[in-house]
Amino acid sequence: MPSSLSRLARRHLGVVLPVLVLSAAGVAVAAGAQDAIDARHAHFKAMGADFKAINEMLKSGTATSAVLLPRIHDVQAAARQLPSWFPAGSGPDSGLKTHAKAEVWSDAAEFRDADALLVARLDKLEQIASHGDMAAAAEQAHVAGQACGACHAKFRVKD
Amino acid sequence: MALVRVRIWDWPIRVFHWSLAAAIGFAWWTAETGRMQPHRWAGYAVLGLLAFRLFWGVAGGDTARFASFVRGPRTALAYARGLFDRTRPPSAGHNPLGGWSVIALLATTGLMVVLGLFAVDVDGIESGPLSAWVSFDVGRMAAQGHALIFDGLLGLIALHLAAVLFYLVVRRENLVGPMLHGFRRLARDPGHRFASPARVALGVVLAAALAWWASSGFRL
């Protein structure tokens, strides 16, 4: 019995081995994609929490540069890293559940421009906040927030 | 036997009913089109209307009071069994089934308002007036609950409209007319009592104050 099995395996090795290797690779890729999806989900939630805190501080009328700037710096850092959260293969083509639309990769230039807009508006917010003009900071925070919405409209699946 | 034209719905109930329908419709449209400031105003309007209805349900005219139309399951089932009986005369207010649909609609709309108060959108930009009381994660859950419950509310509204249509087509009872002009033709006048203008004013003032207070984040 064993010898006929080993003959069977050897005869079909040309098929069996590649299938095993590709499956293992597929599992690895899927695992990598899931990690990327989970990581960016956490990053975006942290950005949302930062924006919420920034808006609440500005709305309360008690905001100072000292309390605002750390949160603004966090969002600026995140916005700059944002494109790196979308490695190839971590989109809907991965077959995994993600809010990212295929356009993130198919319209990559536009995606980078949308991120650049956010970075620019956040840099302006940082400037205004560090000079202490809280009324202007509130306005710029609103403008920066609109960059979030604009990118989501094109690149994020609606909830 | 001649039918008598009887007032069954007072004007506060009628104004409440159509205003709530309009406010919910406006809230829906503003949410769909991203007009979040008007959406919040619609929410405050719904909050005020619900507050008025709760007050009216204990202090208003006979047909508006919850005690007059909320019935136990046996009564509701018995009424349901006679739905196709066209010889049964029309009710002098909410029937036992209609009464429960009122409760379901008010409760679901109320839940929508409460969740909306704490809701935060996906980028932490647009949020309800009490969202500062909760974390981003809780605010997101409130927002997702708010969206999910709305599907339930739409289902209930569809059921309500289907019921009105059923009454019109199958039972030959027009429910829309009375909710517009307040009158129904009945075999005899049940002698409903309606509340004074002073009480209406009190309800409106209380409801408006609550809605305004909510809009300011319940600041003391």
CA B209 to chain A, closest CA, distance in angstroms equals: 22
Residue A4 pLDDT exceeds 80: no
Which of B197, B178, B198 shows the shortest CA–CA distance to B186? B178
pTM: 0.88
CA B126 to chain A, closest CA, distance in angstroms equals: 9
Contact (CB<8Å) A48/B123: yes
Nearest residue in chain B measured CA to CA from A59? B132
The confidence score (pLDDT) of residue B11 equals 94
The confidence score (pLDDT) of residue A48 equals 95
Residue A1 pLDDT exceeds 60: no
Residues of chain B that touch chain A, judged by Cβ-Cβ distance less than 8 Å: 34, 120, 122-125, 127, 131-132, 135-137, 139-140, 144, 147
pLDDT (tens digit per residue) in A139-149: 999 999 999 99
- Interface test with chain B among A44, A45, A51, A52, by most B beta carbons within 10 Å: A52
Per-residue pLDDT of chain B (220 residues; tens, 9 = 90+): 689 999 999 999 999 999 999 999 999 999 999 899 999 999 999 999 999 999 999 999 999 999 999 999 999 999 999 999 988 889 999 999 999 999 999 999 999 999 999 999 998 889 999 999 999 999 999 999 999 999 999 999 999 999 999 999 999 999 999 999 999 999 999 999 999 999 999 999 999 999 999 998 888 7
- Count CB atoms within 10 A of the CB of residue B50: 22
- Contact A148/B at CB under 8 A: yes
Contact B51, B214 (CB under 8 A): no
- Contact A49/B at CB under 8 A: yes
The confidence score (pLDDT) of residue B206 equals 97
Contact (CB<8Å) A50/B124: yes
Query: Between chain A and chain B, how many beta carbons pairs sit less than 8 Å apart?
Result: 50
pLDDT (tens digit per residue) in A70-94: 999 999 999 999 999 999 999 999 9
CA A29 to chain B, closest CA, distance in angstroms equals: 28
Residue A12 pLDDT exceeds 90: no
Using CA atoms, how far apart are residues B63 and B184, in angstroms rounded to an integer? 13
Which of B48, B154, B177, B58 shows the shortest CA–CA distance to B104? B154
Determine the 3-state secondary structure of A157 from DSSP.
coil
Contact (CB<8Å) B123/A47: yes
Buried/exposed code over A129-138 (b: 16+ C-beta within 10 A; e: otherwise): beeeebeebb
- Helix axis angle for A65-81 and A13-60, nearest 10°, is 160
Write the residue in B34, B124, B144 that is nearest to A52 by C-beta: B124
Determine the 3-state secondary structure of A41 from DSSP.
helix
Contact residues, chain B, for A50 at CB < 8 Å:
124
The confidence score (pLDDT) of residue A8 equals 77
The confidence score (pLDDT) of residue B217 equals 86
The confidence score (pLDDT) of residue B106 equals 98
Q: What is the mean pLDDT of residues A25-48?
A: 89
Which of A56, A45, A83, A68 shows the shortest CA–CA distance to A122? A68
Which of A89, A78, A159, A61 shows the shortest CA–CA distance to A122? A78
Using CA atoms, how far apart are residues B159 and B176, in angstroms rounded to an integer? 15
Cα angle B2-B4-B9, degrees, rounded to a multiple of 5 = 155
Contact (CB<8Å) B122/A47: no
Give Cα separations from B82 to A35, A59, B75, B77, B186 (angstroms): 59, 57, 11, 9, 18
- Interface test with chain A among B123, B215, B216, B219, by most A beta carbons within 10 Å: B123
Contact residues, chain B, for A145 at CB < 8 Å:
123-125
Residues in chain B: 220
Residue A30 one-letter amino acid? A
